[in-house]
A and B are shown apart, each in its own frame.
Chain A
Amino acid sequence: EPEVTQTPSHQVTQMGQEVILRCVPISNHLYFYWYRQILGQKVEFLVSFYNNEISEKSEIFDDQFSVERPDGSNFTLKIRSTKLEDSAMYFCASRPLGGVSYEQYFGPGTRLTVT
Protein backbone atom coordinates (compact mmCIF):
# COMPACT_ATOMS: atom_id res chain seq x y z
CA GLU A 1 0.00 0.00 0.00
CA PRO A 2 1.46 3.39 -0.93
CA GLU A 3 2.61 5.57 1.94
CA VAL A 4 3.68 9.11 2.59
CA THR A 5 7.34 9.15 3.57
CA GLN A 6 9.28 11.83 5.43
CA THR A 7 12.97 12.47 5.96
CA PRO A 8 14.77 12.81 8.23
CA SER A 9 12.99 11.13 11.09
CA HIS A 10 14.82 13.36 13.55
CA GLN A 11 16.59 16.65 12.91
CA VAL A 12 18.59 18.53 15.50
CA THR A 13 19.60 22.08 14.66
CA GLN A 14 20.86 25.18 16.37
CA MET A 15 18.71 28.24 16.79
CA GLY A 16 18.98 30.54 13.79
CA GLN A 17 19.86 27.78 11.35
CA GLU A 18 17.81 26.88 8.30
CA VAL A 19 16.20 23.46 8.06
CA ILE A 20 14.45 21.68 5.25
CA LEU A 21 12.03 18.90 6.02
CA ARG A 22 11.27 16.56 3.17
CA CYS A 23 8.19 14.61 2.27
CA VAL A 24 7.30 12.30 -0.59
CA PRO A 25 3.51 12.24 -0.92
CA ILE A 26 1.59 9.36 -2.43
CA SER A 27 2.17 9.53 -6.15
CA ASN A 28 -1.32 10.24 -7.49
CA HIS A 29 -2.21 12.71 -4.75
CA LEU A 30 -2.58 16.36 -5.58
CA TYR A 31 -3.26 18.10 -2.26
CA PHE A 32 -0.39 18.42 0.18
CA TYR A 33 -0.27 19.58 3.77
CA TRP A 34 2.05 20.29 6.64
CA TYR A 35 0.95 20.01 10.25
CA ARG A 36 2.96 20.25 13.42
CA GLN A 37 2.57 18.93 16.94
CA ILE A 38 4.47 20.54 19.75
CA LEU A 39 5.14 18.00 22.47
CA GLY A 40 2.08 17.56 24.64
CA GLN A 41 -0.06 19.84 22.51
CA LYS A 42 -2.60 19.51 19.73
CA VAL A 43 -1.79 18.86 16.12
CA GLU A 44 -1.89 22.21 14.30
CA PHE A 45 -2.38 22.99 10.64
CA LEU A 46 0.42 24.91 8.97
CA VAL A 47 -0.21 25.02 5.23
CA SER A 48 -1.94 23.36 2.32
CA PHE A 49 -0.62 23.26 -1.23
CA TYR A 50 -2.32 22.54 -4.51
CA ASN A 51 -1.50 23.16 -8.13
CA ASN A 52 1.97 24.43 -7.23
CA GLU A 53 0.80 27.11 -4.89
CA ILE A 54 -0.25 27.61 -1.31
CA SER A 55 -4.01 27.32 -1.03
CA GLU A 56 -4.31 28.05 2.66
CA LYS A 57 -2.00 28.79 5.57
CA SER A 58 -2.37 29.33 9.28
CA GLU A 59 -1.11 32.15 11.45
CA ILE A 60 1.79 29.93 12.47
CA PHE A 61 3.03 29.86 8.87
CA ASP A 62 4.82 33.21 8.89
CA ASP A 63 7.59 34.53 6.67
CA GLN A 64 10.09 32.14 8.23
CA PHE A 65 8.28 29.22 6.62
CA SER A 66 8.08 28.25 2.99
CA VAL A 67 7.00 25.22 1.02
CA GLU A 68 8.04 23.92 -2.33
CA ARG A 69 7.43 21.05 -4.66
CA PRO A 70 10.73 21.18 -6.52
CA ASP A 71 10.58 18.12 -8.72
CA GLY A 72 7.07 16.73 -8.92
CA SER A 73 7.62 14.14 -6.21
CA ASN A 74 9.10 15.85 -3.17
CA PHE A 75 7.25 18.35 -1.02
CA THR A 76 9.45 20.36 1.31
CA LEU A 77 8.98 22.62 4.30
CA LYS A 78 11.74 25.14 4.92
CA ILE A 79 12.23 27.09 8.12
CA ARG A 80 14.69 29.89 7.40
CA SER A 81 15.84 30.80 10.87
CA THR A 82 14.75 28.31 13.46
CA LYS A 83 13.61 29.33 16.91
CA LEU A 84 13.42 27.25 20.05
CA GLU A 85 9.64 27.23 19.78
CA ASP A 86 9.83 25.55 16.38
CA SER A 87 10.76 22.33 18.15
CA ALA A 88 7.95 19.95 17.31
CA MET A 89 6.93 16.92 15.31
CA TYR A 90 6.16 17.93 11.75
CA PHE A 91 3.73 15.82 9.75
CA CYS A 92 3.28 15.86 6.02
CA ALA A 93 -0.03 14.69 4.53
CA SER A 94 -1.45 14.23 1.07
CA ARG A 95 -4.83 13.61 -0.46
CA PRO A 96 -6.11 12.66 -3.90
CA LEU A 97 -8.08 14.95 -6.13
CA GLY A 98 -11.77 14.59 -5.51
CA GLY A 99 -14.47 15.41 -3.08
CA VAL A 100 -14.01 16.31 0.51
CA SER A 101 -14.85 12.78 1.56
CA TYR A 102 -11.28 11.73 0.80
CA GLU A 103 -9.17 11.52 3.92
CA GLN A 104 -5.67 12.85 4.31
CA TYR A 105 -2.82 10.34 4.47
CA PHE A 106 -0.03 11.17 6.88
CA GLY A 107 3.65 10.45 6.95
CA PRO A 108 5.51 9.23 10.05
CA GLY A 109 6.67 12.72 10.94
CA THR A 110 9.99 14.50 11.44
CA ARG A 111 10.94 15.39 14.97
CA LEU A 112 12.66 18.78 14.89
CA THR A 113 14.71 19.75 17.91
CA VAL A 114 16.05 23.30 18.02
CA THR A 115 18.79 23.89 20.60
Chain B
Amino acid sequence: AQSVAQPEDQVNVAEGNPLTVKCTYSVSGNPYLFWYVQYPNRGLQFLLKYITGDNLVKGSYGFEAEFNKSQTSFHLKKPSALVSDSALYFCAVRTEGMDSNYQLIWGAGTKLIIKP
Protein backbone atom coordinates (compact mmCIF):
# COMPACT_ATOMS: atom_id res chain seq x y z
CA ALA B 1 0.00 0.00 0.00
CA GLN B 2 1.13 3.51 -0.71
CA SER B 3 2.14 5.77 2.14
CA VAL B 4 3.79 9.10 2.79
CA ALA B 5 5.83 10.12 5.81
CA GLN B 6 6.77 13.59 6.94
CA PRO B 7 9.15 12.95 9.81
CA GLU B 8 9.13 16.48 11.22
CA ASP B 9 6.07 17.96 12.90
CA GLN B 10 7.67 21.40 12.81
CA VAL B 11 10.61 23.07 11.13
CA ASN B 12 12.02 26.38 12.32
CA VAL B 13 14.15 28.48 9.99
CA ALA B 14 15.48 32.00 10.18
CA GLU B 15 14.40 34.35 7.43
CA GLY B 16 16.87 34.37 4.57
CA ASN B 17 18.19 30.90 5.34
CA PRO B 18 17.54 27.89 3.13
CA LEU B 19 14.73 25.60 4.17
CA THR B 20 14.02 21.91 3.70
CA VAL B 21 10.82 20.08 4.54
CA LYS B 22 11.25 16.33 4.36
CA CYS B 23 9.01 13.74 2.75
CA THR B 24 9.52 10.06 2.10
CA TYR B 25 7.16 7.78 0.27
CA SER B 26 6.36 4.15 -0.30
CA VAL B 27 4.81 2.98 -3.55
CA SER B 28 5.11 -0.22 -5.52
CA GLY B 29 5.15 1.40 -8.94
CA ASN B 30 6.17 4.78 -10.30
CA PRO B 31 5.54 7.55 -7.81
CA TYR B 32 3.47 10.62 -8.57
CA LEU B 33 4.26 13.10 -5.82
CA PHE B 34 2.78 16.43 -4.81
CA TRP B 35 3.36 19.22 -2.34
CA TYR B 36 0.52 21.37 -1.07
CA VAL B 37 0.58 24.29 1.36
CA GLN B 38 -2.13 25.34 3.79
CA TYR B 39 -2.14 28.86 5.17
CA PRO B 40 -4.26 29.61 8.26
CA ASN B 41 -7.98 29.51 7.46
CA ARG B 42 -7.25 28.75 3.83
CA GLY B 43 -7.56 25.66 1.69
CA LEU B 44 -4.87 23.42 0.32
CA GLN B 45 -2.88 25.17 -2.38
CA PHE B 46 -0.88 23.23 -4.94
CA LEU B 47 2.85 23.98 -4.92
CA LEU B 48 4.47 21.48 -7.25
CA LYS B 49 4.45 17.92 -8.49
CA TYR B 50 6.73 15.20 -9.76
CA ILE B 51 5.37 12.95 -12.45
CA THR B 52 8.41 12.08 -14.54
CA GLY B 53 11.52 13.71 -15.95
CA ASP B 54 13.97 15.94 -14.11
CA ASN B 55 14.51 15.09 -10.49
CA LEU B 56 14.48 18.76 -9.51
CA VAL B 57 10.99 20.18 -9.82
CA LYS B 58 10.29 23.89 -9.59
CA GLY B 59 7.00 25.21 -8.29
CA SER B 60 5.17 28.22 -6.97
CA TYR B 61 6.57 30.93 -4.66
CA GLY B 62 10.19 29.93 -5.33
CA PHE B 63 9.82 26.43 -3.95
CA GLU B 64 11.41 23.39 -5.49
CA ALA B 65 11.56 19.73 -4.63
CA GLU B 66 14.10 17.05 -5.29
CA PHE B 67 12.96 13.59 -6.21
CA ASN B 68 15.37 10.88 -5.09
CA LYS B 69 14.33 7.42 -6.18
CA SER B 70 17.01 5.52 -4.29
CA GLN B 71 16.11 7.24 -1.03
CA THR B 72 12.38 7.31 -1.84
CA SER B 73 12.32 10.96 -0.89
CA PHE B 74 10.74 14.12 -2.24
CA HIS B 75 12.02 16.92 -0.02
CA LEU B 76 10.69 20.43 -0.44
CA LYS B 77 13.29 23.19 -0.57
CA LYS B 78 13.68 26.92 -0.91
CA PRO B 79 17.01 28.74 -1.10
CA SER B 80 15.97 31.74 0.99
CA ALA B 81 13.02 31.58 3.38
CA LEU B 82 10.50 34.38 3.83
CA VAL B 83 8.37 35.01 6.91
CA SER B 84 5.34 34.68 4.61
CA ASP B 85 6.35 31.06 3.91
CA SER B 86 5.19 30.15 7.41
CA ALA B 87 2.39 27.64 6.90
CA LEU B 88 1.50 23.96 7.03
CA TYR B 89 3.03 21.87 4.26
CA PHE B 90 1.70 18.55 3.05
CA CYS B 91 3.34 15.94 0.89
CA ALA B 92 1.04 13.58 -0.99
CA VAL B 93 1.27 10.63 -3.34
CA ARG B 94 -1.17 9.57 -5.99
CA THR B 95 -2.80 6.19 -5.69
CA GLU B 96 -1.88 3.63 -8.26
CA GLY B 97 -3.91 1.40 -10.45
CA MET B 98 -6.31 3.85 -12.06
CA ASP B 99 -5.25 5.51 -15.24
CA SER B 100 -7.58 8.43 -15.40
CA ASN B 101 -8.60 9.02 -11.82
CA TYR B 102 -6.77 8.94 -8.57
CA GLN B 103 -6.97 9.94 -4.96
CA LEU B 104 -4.25 11.47 -2.88
CA ILE B 105 -2.65 9.85 0.13
CA TRP B 106 -1.29 12.46 2.49
CA GLY B 107 1.52 12.91 4.91
CA ALA B 108 0.75 14.25 8.36
CA GLY B 109 1.95 17.72 7.49
CA THR B 110 4.88 19.81 8.66
CA LYS B 111 4.46 23.19 10.25
CA LEU B 112 7.04 25.59 8.88
CA ILE B 113 7.88 28.59 11.00
CA ILE B 114 10.10 31.29 9.56
CA LYS B 115 11.44 33.68 12.17
CA PRO B 116 12.45 37.26 11.26
Contact = CB atoms under 8 A, between A and B. Distances in A.
B28 interface: no
Contact of A91 (B44, B98, B105, B109): B44
Nearest to B102: A100
A75 interface: no
Interface residues of B, number: 26
Contact of B43 (A4, A42, A45, A99): A4
Please classify how large the interface on chain A is, using the bins under 10, 10 to 19, 20 to 34, 35 or more.
Answer: 20 to 34
A69 B41 CA distance: 26
B34 A109 contact: no
Interface of A: 4, 6, 31, 33, 35, 41-45, 48, 50, 55-56, 58, 91, 93, 97, 99-101, 103-109
Given A91-B43, A100-B94, 20 more contacts: A6-B43, A35-B104, A42-B106, A42-B107, A42-B108, A43-B92, A43-B109, A48-B101, A56-B98, A56-B103, A58-B103, A93-B44, A100-B100, A101-B49, A103-B34, A103-B49, A105-B46, A106-B36, A106-B45, A107-B43
